[in-house]
Amino acid sequence: MFGRQRLRGASGANRAESTHGRQDSNPGPGGATSGFRRRAFTVPLLLLGLGLSACGWVEGEREAAREEARAEIEAILTERIDAADRLARSADRILSPMPVMTPGEEAELRRFLNAAHIAKARELGVRAEDEEALDSLVAAGRLIELEDSTQYWIVRPGDSPAHVVPDVAALLEVLGGRFQERLAEFGLPPYRLEVTSALRTAERQARLRRNNANAAAGVSSHEFGTTVDLSYAAFAPPAEVPPEIIGGISSDLLPHIRRIADLAFESVSARKSRELGKIFSEVLAEAQDEGIVLVIYERQQTVYHLTVGRAM
């Protein structure tokens, strides 16, 4: 029984082999579909290969464009850095032979000491006891906030907001304008003044007095909004960048070029602050003689202590 089953099984297998062979040699509808599928599958592979090749070409073109743009930007930056350096070197040469303040000139800017400043502050200013009083005075328009950056001055970062009576803002415009006119006479860039301190509430002044030995004992003219401190150790770069540095620059590069110019001018004002201070001190001495400002040329801090001398 088992023998006959094995023979039948072998015979079935032979028939199956024969049938399979015939299918391979004469493919029917199913075989044709299988071949088409193989060909259909091959076409996308070829297209994909071409696409990947094209992607590689596009990426290469993009990289080339990036390199070209990078080289162009570097060339522009180099050109403008050179222009800024030329202007800075010119200012440095002009300032190099200039004198600095003499002891007599310094003494002239100490004629009006603290008592005179406080008396003038009481006459022309308003006293802010605390932050609530300050807010009320600002709301009433009796105190204003100095702009952080103008044509004539900047408020040093960390000292903003700087509140003053309106007459002080007018005074700074006069002093800043005269300073820049004097600089122009020498062929120098229009450097700006740096405001380092303005109004302090009585409450804040008391705290400062406890922590700072340089703070005035008793009442300070800073409490009335009539007084500002201006640095004589630093002068801010011009508000406008010269056209030979910034002309034709695209808006995306503009901040970087402006910073390059500022650094070039700041490097000169840092090295030549005493010479620039001499020029501004002459402006202050004249303004003090006119009665529009009282000045203390301070020694413990590198600032001019200014109080407005009359309604502007």
pLDDT digits (tens, 9 = 90+) for 5-40: 443 444 444 444 444 444 444 444 444 445 544 544
Q: Residue 165 and residue 198: Cα distance in Å, rounded?
A: 10
**Domain housing 136:** 72-308
What amino acid is encoded at 146 in this protein?
A: L
Residue 215 lies in a domain: yes
Token couple for 105? 């000139």
Residue labelled with tokens 């003038």:
120
What stretches of the chain adopt beta strand conformation (E)?
144-145, 153-155, 163-164, 193-197, 227-231, 293-297, 303-308
Q: Shortest CA distance to 171 belongs to which of 130, 218, 230, 215? A: 230
Q: What is the pLDDT of residues 60-108, one digit of tens each?
A: 767 777 777 788 888 888 888 899 999 999 999 999 989 999 999 999 9
- Helix or strand holding residue 249 (H, E): none
Residue 213 lies in a domain: yes
Residue 166 lies in a domain: yes
Q: What is the DSSP letter of 220?
A: -
* Predicted model pTM: 0.75
Q: What is the pLDDT of residues 278-304, one digit of tens each?
A: 999 999 999 999 999 999 999 989 999
What amino acid is encoded at 174 in this protein?
A: V
Residue 39 lies in a domain: no
Residue 5 lies in a domain: no
State the alpha helices, DSSP H only, in 96-161. 103-108, 114-124, 131-139
Domain count, the chain: 1
Residue 66 lies in a domain: no
3-state secondary structure of 297: strand
Residue 201 lies in a domain: yes
**What's phi and psi for 49, nearest 5 deg?**
-60, -45
Using DSSP bridges, classify how beta strands 293-297 and 303-308 pair: parallel, antiparallel or unpaired.
Answer: antiparallel
Token couple for 11? 């015979």
The per-residue pLDDT for 150 is 98
The per-residue pLDDT for 53 is 58
Residue 42 lies in a domain: no
Beta-ladder partners of 145: 163
Q: Residue 257 and residue 67: Cα distance in Å, rounded?
A: 21
